[in-house]
Amino acid sequence: MSKVKTDAIETRAGGTSVLTIGTATQTIKLPGGTPGADKVLTSNATGEASWATAAVGFDSIALLSTQTASTSASVNFDNTLITSTYRTYEVRYMNVVGSNDGVQLEMQFSDDNGSNFDSYHTNNFATGYTDGTSSGWVNDTVNDVAGADYSRLGTDQSWDAGDSMGGTATIQNPSSTSFITTYQSVSSYISHHGTPYSYCTVIGGFWDSLTAVNYIRFRMATGNLVTGTFQLWGYK
């Protein structure tokens, strides 16, 4: 292997202003400084480059799975997706419509990859509403749960296709056996009442167990998920 030692490389006089090193099929190796796995090249104000450890969060967010409901009993994320690789998971759900009118979207957790859904959910449930002329905010004790096998993410949802639900559910520490799993969700949708209301539901809760959650299910309280897209994101 030949070596060329020089203090500077410039394009030739009359040439282009682009300096090309290597071809698309070749690998460029820069052993100078302190290279290392997952390090990145950074530059100072004068253009001098050095190796640096990637900032926290540089590669910490990933879309892990997208599932589409089509008259489905449930949408599930199993133990190939819910692992200790990520500390926090976020599920984004869009265009969710159930087969029955006035029925709630629910979230369930399992610690044995979906064989059982234990009654460890406890959460507070609050909803803001407006019909264009009146509005309010209700701490909805009817949909609060304590020691249930589900958490409801909405209430009185319309089954009309144009009234679909959208929202996010964030789950912290599902794989931990030292901390309980906590979660929050925000959902917006149209009610099934004769006079339609715009609803915004917020919940906050926990799964009261130190066993690791490795399976997350979304379902309607009764009936099927006629439509809905569910994305699972992981945050390190």
Task: Using pLDDT thresholds of 50, 70 and 90, give the confidence band for residue 54.
Answer: low
pLDDT value for 40: 74
Mean pLDDT of 37-41: 72
| pTM of model > 0.85 | no
Task: Using pLDDT thresholds of 50, 70 and 90, give the confidence band for residue 21.
Answer: confident
Residue 163 phi/psi, 5-degree rounding, is -105, 30
HSE of 120, CA atoms in CB hemisphere, 13 A? 20
Contact 212, 206 (CB under 8 A): no
* Model confidence at 59: pLDDT above 60: no
**3-12, 50-59, 99-108: range with highest mean pLDDT:** 99-108
Contact 198, 130 (CB under 8 A): yes
* Model confidence at 55: pLDDT above 70: no
pLDDT value for 111: 97
Q: Could you tell me which CATH class the domain 61-235 is placed in?
A: mainly beta
Integer-rounded Cα Rg, in Å, for the chain is 26
Task: Using pLDDT thresholds of 50, 70 and 90, give the confidence band for residue 58.
Answer: very low
Residue 220: name the closest of 228, 232, 212 by CA: 228
Residue 199: name the closest of 123, 149, 125, 142 by CA: 125
Q: Which residue has the tokens 């009185």?
A: 156
Please report the DSSP string for the chain in residue order. ------S---PPTTS-SPPP-S-TTS-----SS---TTEEEEE-TT--EEEEEPPTTTT-EEEEEEEEEEEES-EEE-TTTSSTT-SEEEEEEEEEEESSTT--EEEEEESSTTS---S-EEEEEEEEEE-SS-EEEEE-TTT-EEEES-EE--SSB--SGGG-EEEEEEEE-TT-SSS-EEEEEEEEEEB-SSS--EEEEEEEEEE--SSPP-EEEEEESSS-EEEEEEEEEEE-
**Average pLDDT over the chain, rounded to whole?**
89
